[in-house]
Amino acid sequence: MFKAVRDSKHVNIMKLRHTTPHDIPFLLETEKRFARLGFVHSDDIVTHQQQMRDPDYAYYTVQERENPAGYVILRGLTSADRSLELKRIVIAEPGHGVGTQVLRAVIDKAFCEFHAHRLWLDVFEDNHRARHVYRSLGFVEETTPSKFFQNGDRQRLLIVMSMQESKHRQKMPLRLRREI
């Protein structure tokens, strides 16, 4: 559980919980909305249902009071090299500080719960808000050649960003570092 500041007047309690089949309509609707704006890819319901059953994936819903406020998909839980991918993050109402708080919780989960060595993601070059948030939390752009994604007659660059376990440890309080 973690807190998120929605605006300067309201402080809401946010929770990251496992996604259930009841969350799928919200997930599909939110995903389609941001896919239409070109921020994320989208998948059909069957793909999501299969992935939710796959031990390599973890689906989380961001819960704000009674309502879902976003979702996160992680992939690579069974990867031998413990390289975890933040496959997708979508916040239904961006720009209120929720994404930053959710990402902090995701980073902690990746390194403390899943014992990842590396957490990575790819982001469209022109998704300036997402790139800003990732950078502010310590993700760095990798020098590996970025991929182009063909979208109709438009080519868009996908940038790989990552965080290493060592970087996360440096940011942890000394007391917690000793406990790991």
Tell me which residues touch ligand COA (CB under 6 A): 34, 39-40, 89-91, 94-100, 121, 123, 127-130, 132-133, 136
Sign of CA dihedral 156, 33, 131, 116: negative
Among 49, 53, 47, 41, residue whose Cα is nearest residue 23? 49
Question: For 81, phi and psi rounded to 5 degrees?
Answer: -90, 5
Q: Kindly state the smallest distance separating residue 31's Cβ from ligand COA, in Å.
A: 9
Q: Name which of 51 and 100 has its Cβ closer to ligand COA.
A: 100
Residues 90 and 40: beta-carbon distance below 8 Å: yes
Report the nearest approach of ligand COA to the CB of residue 179 (Å): 28
Closest-approach residue to ligand COA (CB): 99
Residue closer to ligand COA by CB (options 104, 169) is 104
Q: Given the complex with ligand COA, which of 97 and 138 has the nearer CB atom?
A: 97
List Cβ neighbours of 106 (8 Å cut-off, separation of 6 or more): 16, 60, 72, 74, 86, 89, 119
In this complex, which beta carbon is closest to ligand COA, that of residue 94 or of residue 138?
94
Min dist. Cβ of residue 129 to ligand COA (A) = 4
> Cβ 154 to ligand COA, closest distance in Å?
17
Cα–Cα distance for residue pair 130/134, rounded to 1 Å: 6
- Report in angstroms the alpha-carbon separations of 89 from 8, 72, 85, 125: 24, 4, 11, 16
Q: C-beta of 70: minimal distance to ligand COA in Å?
A: 6
Q: Nearer Cβ to ligand COA, position 130 or 163?
A: 130
